[in-house]
Structure 1
Amino acid sequence: MHPLVTRIRRVKMGRAILTLLCLWSCIVTVTSLTDRQVHRATKYIKETFNLADMDNTRQYAYVAVFSKQECDSLSNNNNLQILKNEDPAGITDALNNTQKIYQGRQMVLATYGERGFHSEYRLLFPLSNKSNVSPVEQLVNTNPNANCVIFYSLNTPCVGICTNTTNGRNIIQKLPVFNKYNNNKAFV
């Protein structure tokens, strides 16, 4: 088979799997979060927490929860006042230590971990056998008044692994953790 045909089939298959993930998880839906709000939030997080340097070199994912006031502020033209309890230096330190995961008050962020665990998996599954709560579950549980959530992933290899329902690292089963946010959620 011609290499171009093989590549086109892979792209179509990847898009089909991603579409199934979106439909199954109900994270990417018609939401009250607009594209503009999501763009402003992700741009702010990338710039404020020095993630731009990682864009071309590392695979990472984060989940950030916002209060109603913060969600509303994403749509106005004022300076964003979000995630003020998060520490940029703490994030850098956490991502450079052996765990490669940051667990803050309103945000959790992980990079590709040891033994090939992708960042999405590391956020949605418990970090050790000693805990039955994942970093995302802990974040959601400690922010009961959060009004909206953004799950952001960059350079993800999830199409072949994390969304494969026969793989032990399947994350689809863990996505209902976001159900409490109704339509105030986005997967980027």
Structure 2
Amino acid sequence: MKLTVFLSGFLLLFLLPNWTKSVDVVDINTLARIINFFEQNYKKINADGSPGQYAIAINVPKNQCQQNFYPNQSNFLTQENAVNVRNAITDETNGLYQGAELIAAGLRKVVISRREKFNLHSEFLLLHPTDNSPMTNLLNKTKDGCTVFYTFNSPCVKSCLNATRNRSIINALEKWRGHSGIKAFVFKNIWEKDIGKDLQNNFKQIAARIPLYRCVNENECYACNGEGNTPIDAHCLR
């Protein structure tokens, strides 16, 4: 009996670190304020005045993603010039900005010939090539900082979330997964061409690697969940 109790206790102590290990996560209210800061300062506006697709990633001190932090011009991303960011992501010949704590991208138009043209998506511009991307360089600046990746529209199912395509972001997310700090992948809208598609399984590809969130406005932010057998929250699928 004593031996059984001892072995049971030993097993419990052996397993306990896996059960009790704390993982730092972003404060969801602070995250909503951060995304609102992006929208207020860096949002891409098309020539017709409509909002355009863009993506932003930051690597900032851990406390700036924790409870009771309120980002403003004087305490957050102070090394970045908002006008320079907007100008860079609006220029569709390049569409890329790389700063000290922030990287951002819009759309890059690629013309091969008069008949062959295509667009490089903002997520692709920030996350490729996987081993030497703007995101890789940003992560290397602060190994344990809080990293947030925000995309105005959710990554496309056809390319970004398709591991068999050469413009997939899956490998890049796997690499980001190894970053030791707080991590959050955030989107605002579901990309219109993906409405009605199997977003449940596609979004789980993100959630399996990086905590996934949907932030609709300054006061409305949702944890999408989706890890393991947990389904993606309905708020992230509507």
TM-score (norm: length of structure 1) = 0.70
Change in CA separation of 1:36 and 1:165 when aligned onto 2, cut-off 3 Å: same
Do the aligned residues in 1 keep the contact of 2:34 with 2:71 (CA within 8 Å)?
no
1:162 alignment partner in structure 2: 160
Which of 176, 179, 182 pairs up with 1:178? 176
Give the aligned CA root-mean-square deviation in angstroms: 2.6
Max Rg structure: 2
Mark the runs of 5 or more structure 1 residues left unpaired by the alignment.
1-29
Render the CA deviation track for 1:24-62: whole Å, top value 9, x for unaligned. xxxxxx85212212101111122133x174694311111
Q: For residue 163 of structure 2, what is the amino acid of its counterpart? A: T
Instruction: Using the TM superposition, give the Cα deviation of residue 182 of structure 1 relative to its aligned residue in structure 2, in angstroms.
Output: 4.0
Change in CA separation of 1:70 and 1:164 when aligned onto 2, cut-off 3 Å: same
Higher relative contact order (CA 8 A, sep 6+): 1
Q: Give aligned-pair identity as a percent.
A: 29
Change in CA separation of 1:146 and 1:104 when aligned onto 2, cut-off 3 Å: farther
Report whether the alignment pairs 1:125 with 2:117.
no
1:106 alignment partner in structure 2: 101
Q: For residue 47 of structure 1, what is the amino acid of its counterpart? A: Q
1:41 alignment partner in structure 2: 34
Report whether the alignment pairs 1:67 with 2:95.
no
Do the aligned residues in 2 keep the contact of 1:59 with 1:155 (CA within 8 Å)?
yes
Instruction: Using the TM superposition, give the Cα deviation of residue 160 of structure 1 relative to its aligned residue in structure 2, in angstroms.
Output: 1.9
* Partner Cα separation in structure 1 for residue 153 and residue 70 of structure 2: 31
Q: For residue 84 of structure 1, what is the amino acid of its counterpart? A: T
2:77 partner SS? coil
More helix by share: 1
Do the aligned residues in 1 keep the contact of 2:97 with 2:103 (CA within 8 Å)?
yes
Mark the runs of 5 or more structure 2 residues left unpaired by the alignment.
1-22, 110-117, 187-238
More strand by share: 2
Which of 17, 22, 25 pairs up with 1:32? 25
Q: For residue 122 of structure 1, what is the amino acid of its counterpart? A: L
Q: For residue 68 of structure 2, what is the amino acid of its counterpart? A: N
* Partner Cα separation in structure 1 for residue 137 and residue 146 of structure 2: 16
How many corresponding residue pairs?
Answer: 151
Change in CA separation of 1:62 and 1:77 when aligned onto 2, cut-off 3 Å: closer
Which of 69, 72, 76 pairs up with 1:82? 76
TM-score (norm: length of structure 2) = 0.56
